[in-house]
Every structure is written in C-alpha cells, then in structure tokens.
Amino acid sequence: MSLLVVAYPVLNETDFDLIENQRKVSDPLQKVIAPHFTFVFPVVDFPADEFCREIRAQLNNIYAFPFLISRAIGHRDEFTGNHLALLVPGPGAAQIANVHDLLYSGLLRKHLRRDLPFVPHVTIGTFTDELSRKVVEEWNSKNVEIRGIISSLDILTYENDRVETIQKIILLSEAS
C-alpha cells in the first residue's frame, strides 16, 4: 500500500467535464482517480498514522488558493517512459510548488526526488508514444481557461489500482 497526498480542485461543472472527457479517451487512471494535483507522490515505507500527523502539521497554516490553467504541455514520465499530456497552471503554480516543498520539508524529506523537477499539473493523457504531442497541440489550439480553487488536500491510500481517502484536510479560508 502506498500513501500520497493530492488536491481535487474545485472546478465548475463545464471545466470538470472538459477534463474528464479528455481523460476518458487518453488517461488509463481516469476510472481510478478524479482530476487532481499530486502534492506528495506515493510513499510505501511510512506508517499511515504518522504520515497523516505529519501532513496535518505541515498544512496547519495554509490557506486555500486559486489557480488558472491556460495551457497543456507534453512530459516524459521518468518512471515509466510514457509520454504524458499535462494541464499546467500559470497563476497558482507557485503556491502548489510551495505546498509541495513544505510537505517534503519535515519527516518526508528523504522521500523527495531531487533528481526530478516538480511540475504542478493535472494529467489528461498517458501514451506509450509521442501521441501526447497531438493531444497537447489540440488542447492548446482551443485557448481554454480553467479556473479553480485548491481548498483541501486528501491523504490517500493506493493499492491494486484503487485509491481511498483516509483523511481530508480543509485549508484555511480568508476571513471576510
């Protein structure tokens, strides 16, 4: 069993459907997990209760934040060799990266892959060849803007192509 941390972004129905319709065609994990940003990648050698305590402690003073996705990029997965089509935020990317770094700054430090760059993204396709380039070009030709909010992070277990939320952490909201 692996433990990981993701954010299921708050999206309007039209944007959610747009992402899901693409994923149905090209993302084999579409039936396993909803569109998400990964903040902590799968960790296998960590007790679940300790993992949850660490994530909660690190997120204690983090506020919800908006993001805007206006482009897709192609990316080669270093683990599998697959080619990915990714939706990447402009505004909001720095906050995602900062929270990612924060979550890896304490007890999870030894699990951070410093040899791989962190690219905040939502995956919309996984391919064994360069077909991802075509999906990226088609997506970018539409000039889509997806606005959303990251208001919570979920701690998940992943095993046998199944994910389960074991804890949802609601981020702080700005006082009115």
List C-alpha distances in Å: 110 to 57, 105, 114.
18, 9, 10
Which pLDDT value is given to residue 121?
98
- Does an H or E element contain 3, and which? strand 2-7
Give the contacts of 116 (CB within 8 A, at least 6 positions apart).
78
pLDDT in the model for residue 102? 98
Most distant CA atoms of the chain, gap in Å: 49
Strands 122-127 and 10-11: unpaired
Q: What is the CA radius of gyration of the chain?
A: 16
pTM of the model: 0.94
Q: pLDDT digit string (tens) for 78-88?
A: 878 899 999 99
Residue ranges of domains in the chain: 2-170
The distance from CA 150 to its chain's CA centroid, rounded to whole angstroms, is: 10
Q: What is the DSSP letter of 62?
A: P
Please check whether residue 85 is in contact with residue 121, taking contact to mean a CB–CB distance below 8 angstroms.
no
Per-residue model confidence (pLDDT) at position 117: 87
Closest CA to 125 of 169, 70, 66, 77: 77
Q: What are phi and psi of 96, to 5 degrees?
A: -60, -45
pLDDT at 176 over 60: no
Cβ-Cβ contacts under 8 Å for 128 (sequence gap 6 or more) = 82, 83
Instruction: Compute the mean pLDDT over every residue in the chain, rounded to the nearest whole number.
Output: 95
Pairing of strands 152-159, 146-150: unpaired
Q: Find out if CATH 3.40.50.300 is the number for domain 2-170.
A: no
Percentage, residues of the chain above pLDDT 90: 88
On whether the CB atoms of residues 6 and 156 are closer than 8 A, the answer is yes
pLDDT tens-digit map of 99-156:
999 999 999 999 998 888 899 999 999 998 778 899 999 999 999 999 999 999 999 9
Q: Which amino acid is at 13?
A: E
Structure tokens, 84: 């990915």
Calpha distance 128→113 (Å, rounded): 23
Average pLDDT over residues 31-52: 96
